[in-house]
Amino acid sequence: MGGLEGRVAIVTGSGQGIGRAEAEVLAARGARLAIWDWHLDLAEATAAHIISHGGVAKAYRVDVGDSLRVESAMEQVRSDLGPVSVLVNNAGITRDNLLYKMSEDDWDTVMNIHLKGAFLCSRAAQADMVKHRWGRIVLTSSTSALGNRGQSNYATAKAGLQGLTRTLAIELGPFNITVNAVAPGFIDTDMTRGTARRLNLDPEQFKEAISSTVPVGRVGVPEDVAHAVGFFCDPESSYVSGQVLYIRGGP
Ligand SMILES: NC(=O)c1ccc[n+]([C@@H]2O[C@H](COP(=O)([O-])OP(=O)(O)OC[C@H]3O[C@@H](n4cnc5c(N)ncnc54)[C@H](O)[C@@H]3O)[C@@H](O)[C@H]2O)c1
């Protein structure tokens, strides 16, 4: 593999789940990893795993919706690891509810973490990328962007991220920075296990039921998304920008 030797990569929400797999894939390709998560213990576990496999990684406690913390963490990463050339905006949560039960707080919290978080982190990271005329930014949309019952807040944020992806690709392209998005379907993580529990379903039975609707006959695992992120971040993917790649085991 390789390709990212010496480059500094930030993956937000990489304490567990999809983000952790993404950080591990980028580290395996030679990147020096900044592990951002609002749970420092999870971030430290990911960093320790990467280091134990011969990589370079450092953990940071960051809430991506907090602009002051994003700016200060970016500065810390620069001084600890060097200028940032890869950013994967992955941190996210769900606050599902049918419209009539959805609170203003459910709406604002999801918008703040997914949409504002990706905006704040991308704005902070682009400075190094523009300066060095090289960068890779990946955003995390979802098949929910196409509409999903009980997720008016999440689906709206995930659709908005597709607009942000295309716009940043246009603005940053002249600086040799590509911006793309992954849009996963059902991936087996804490997030989807939480959804099963909220629906009063057994997570294993929920997975089986979903698998039967997926053309390849299984649900996704974090590595399925991580390898797509690895492709977007590859130096040889420099003519791939503004794209949204659905990772859902079928069309
Ligand atoms: N699991 C799926 O089926 C699926 C499908 C489509 C999209 N996604 C998206 O993929 C991303 C990762 O999801 P996952 O399934 O791995 O979830 P997860 O809950 O397993 O992991 C999310 C991580 O993000 C961190 N996080 C949450 N809010 C944060 C914040 N404000 N600042 C910093 N860190 C924060 C959490 O602590 C956690 O470590 C999310 O954006 C999610 O919306 C997931």
Distance from Cα 16 to the centre of ligand 1, integer Å: 8
User: Residue 33: pLDDT band by 50, 70, 90 thresholds?
Assistant: very high
User: Residue 96: pLDDT band by 50, 70, 90 thresholds?
Assistant: very high
As to burial, measured by CB atoms within 10 angstroms (0-12 exposed, 13-18 middle, 19+ buried), residue 68 is exposed
User: Residue 2: pLDDT band by 50, 70, 90 thresholds?
Assistant: confident
**140: which DSSP letter?**
E
- Per-residue pLDDT at 95: 97
Tens of pLDDT, residue by residue over 179-217, are: 999 999 999 999 999 999 988 999 999 999 999 999 999
- Per-residue pLDDT at 32: 98
Distance from Cα 92 to the centre of ligand 1, integer Å: 4
* Residue of 90, 186, 218, 229 with the most ligand 1 atoms within 8 Å of its CB, for mutation: 90
CATH superfamily of 8-185+221-244: NAD(P)-binding Rossmann-like Domain (3.40.50.720)
- Structure token pair of residue 166: 């295309």
Q: What is the number of the ligand 1 atom nearest to the C-alpha of 220? A: 3
Are 35 and 57 in contact by the 8 Å Cβ rule? The answer is yes
**114: which DSSP letter?**
I
- Per-residue pLDDT at 183: 99
Task: Name the residue at shortest CA distance from atom 43 of ligand 1.
Answer: 92
Residues with catalytic roles: 154
- Helices 117-132 and 152-172, axial angle in degrees (round to 10): 10
- Per-residue pLDDT at 9: 99
| Cβ(111) – ligand 1 distance below 6 Å | no
Task: Name the residue at shortest CA distance from atom 31 of ligand 1.
Answer: 63
Average predicted confidence (pLDDT) for the chain: 97
- Helices 67-81 and 117-132, axial angle in degrees (round to 10): 30
Tens of pLDDT, residue by residue over 213-249, are: 999 999 999 999 999 999 999 999 999 999 999 999 9
Sequence-ordered alpha helix ranges (H) in 11-150: 17-28, 40-52, 67-81, 104-110, 117-132
- pTM score: 0.98
Q: What is the arithmetic mean of pLDDT over 122-127?
A: 98
Distance from Cα 191 to the centre of ligand 1, integer Å: 7
Q: What percent of the chain has pLDDT over 90?
A: 98
Tens of pLDDT, residue by residue over 141-177, are: 999 999 999 999 999 999 999 999 999 999 999 999 9
Domain ranges of the chain: 8-185+221-244, 188-219
| Cβ(65) – ligand 1 distance below 6 Å | yes
The set of residues, in sequence order, having a beta carbon less than 8 Å from that of 197 and lying 6+ positions away, is 203
pLDDT surpassing 80 at residue 39:
yes
